[in-house]
Every structure is written in structure tokens, then in C-alpha cells.
Amino acid sequence: MGKLDSSLFILSIVNVSRNLSTHVKSVIKNCLSVTGVRNKNDSFYNVDDALALFNRMINKHPQPSIVEFTKLLGAIVRLKRYAIVFSMCRGMESVGISHDDYSLSIFINCFCRLGRIDLGFSVFGKMLKLVVKPSIVTFSTSINGLCNQSKISQAVSLFDEMIERGIEPNVVTYNTLVDAHCKNVMISKAEDIVESMIKRGIEPNVVIYSALIDGHCLQHNVDKARRVLQLMIENGCLPDICSYSIMIKGYCKAKMLDEAMELFHEISRKDQFLIVSHSPLLCTVCVN
């Protein structure tokens, strides 16, 4: 795994940090006393504990590997304290800790979650120019950030670049692209992506099938949506409550209430627990 020269990365982070909004800067200031929910894999209970652990790590001799630091950064991300990650980054760089593709992917993810995909790409661009080879995680993170901002064409271009670089896409990458195309009512292109996915030997999962169902419903093609649902079952991919809810909602919006109730009763016969435990959700879907 390639390493990025510390001095170069310090400059890159300083440059992008200068462009952070006032909101993000205030988050850094205010987050220090915010309590988070402990994950079973975390060795701290809140942000104060995380910062204390971080300080122990950077002052330890010998210092922990970048892998240990990325575990901590990942835990901070799960607490949704994205701005603190940048502060920790500067601390890591100040003691000469070099980053790898995974830690840089975390930084890109934080920028994307803060709505600053432009700053995320400034990090991504430096990775391409320097010695760190982007991984599938890096590309998937960036693609997801673009899709979240409905920059679909740029996401597809980045996906194509990932293929050109010999990085094999995984089901998570496909999930992101298919869902984004369907939400933007580009169902035919979504189906092309699924076809390409299958040719690569990756079977669609419940997320992708549900996205296709939703895409057809958004275009008022409930018959096609129902065929996707049936194909999903025939291919051995069991629909979940979200899949059924999307289909029922599609029927309701098309004023096909008889079909909606028929599907409602159909799934109740198949799985009594499913229908009882989620009936409020299904009723809400039908009402809306």
C-alpha cells in the first residue's frame, strides 16, 4: 500500500481546510463536549474519550500504525463528528504519520458528508498525482458523494475511470449507481448498469432490485415494477419490507388500491411476523 509524503499532505490538508465553511469550523469548536453513542468496537464512550485516546496514540513510542489510527478515525465518523477527523489529521501529520488510501478515503467521506464534495475531490486529485493508489473504497466513497449531490454523469465518469485503472467494482458501488439513476428517473441507464454488473458475475441484491422497482414506480410503470419484484423472487433474492412498501406505494400512487391491498394480503400470508411488525409502515405508505 502506497504512502503519501507527509509534508505534501500537510499542505494539501491545510489548503482544503482553509476553504471549510464557518459552520464546519464551529463544529470543531463545539464537538469537544458532545457525548456520542459507544460502538462495541470502540474503546471510548464519547468524543472526549476519543480525543484522549488519540493524544495517547500520537505520544506513544513507538507510535501505532496507520491502521490503528484509521480505526479511531472510523469510529469518529460513526459518531458523525466529521470535522474532528480533520483536526486529528493535522495532529497526525504534525508527528510525521503518513496516510494510506484508507485514511484518505475517510477524509474524502467526511468532506462528502459535510456537503463539500469539491474539497473531497481536491484530496482525491492529489492522491492521483502523488504516490497513493486509490482503492475501491476511495472510488466508491467519491462516487457516493457525487450521487448524493445528483452529479450522476460525473459519478459515471469516475466509475469508468475506476474500471480503466483495473479496480473491480463491488456490489456497493453498483448499489450507489443504480439507486442514483433510479431516483433521477433514469431507469433505462440503471438497467444497463445492472446488466453490466451481471456480466461481471455480480448478482443484484435486494437494494438494487428495490431501486429498480422504485424507478419504474416513479415513471408510473407499476406493471414493470411488479415484474421486477417477481424476477427478484425467481432469482432467489427475497424481498424485504422496503421492497414491498415501495411496490405498495407505487400501486397507491397509481390509484390501484385493489392491487395494493392484494399485495398487502399476499405478504401477510407469507410472513405473519413481517406484516404485523411493519403494518404501521405499510399503512402509512398506502395513505401517502
Looking at residue 33, what DSSP letter applies?
G
Does 125 map to a domain? yes
Number of domains in the chain: 1
Given the C-alpha cell 459515471, which residue does it identify?
156
Residue 176 · residue 162 · CB < 8 Å: no
Cα–Cα distance between 270 and 35 in angstroms, integer? 43
- Structure confidence at residue 276 (pLDDT): 43
Q: How confident is the model at residue 232 (pLDDT cuts 50, 70, 90)?
A: very high
- Structure confidence at residue 44 (pLDDT): 54
Does 122 map to a domain? yes
Does 143 map to a domain? no
Q: How confident is the model at residue 166 (pLDDT cuts 50, 70, 90)?
A: confident
Does 139 map to a domain? no
CA 199, distance to chain mean position in Å, is 24
Domain range for 113 is: 1-134
Does 236 map to a domain? no
Does 225 map to a domain? no
Does 104 map to a domain? yes
**How much is the pTM?**
0.67
Does 161 map to a domain? no
What confidence tens digit (pLDDT) does each residue in 26-62 have? Answer: 333 333 333 233 344 444 557 788 888 888 888 888 8
Cα–Cα distance between 275 and 268 in angstroms, integer? 5
Residue 139 · residue 173 · CB < 8 Å: yes
User: Of 284, 196, 193, nearest to 245 (Cα)?
Assistant: 284
Q: How confident is the model at residue 5 (pLDDT cuts 50, 70, 90)?
A: very low
Cα–Cα distance between 148 and 47 in angstroms, integer? 27
CA 126, distance to chain mean position in Å, is 22
Cell of 234: 425467481
Angle CA(44)–CA(49)–CA(54) in degrees, nearest 5? 95
Mean pLDDT for 188-206 is 93
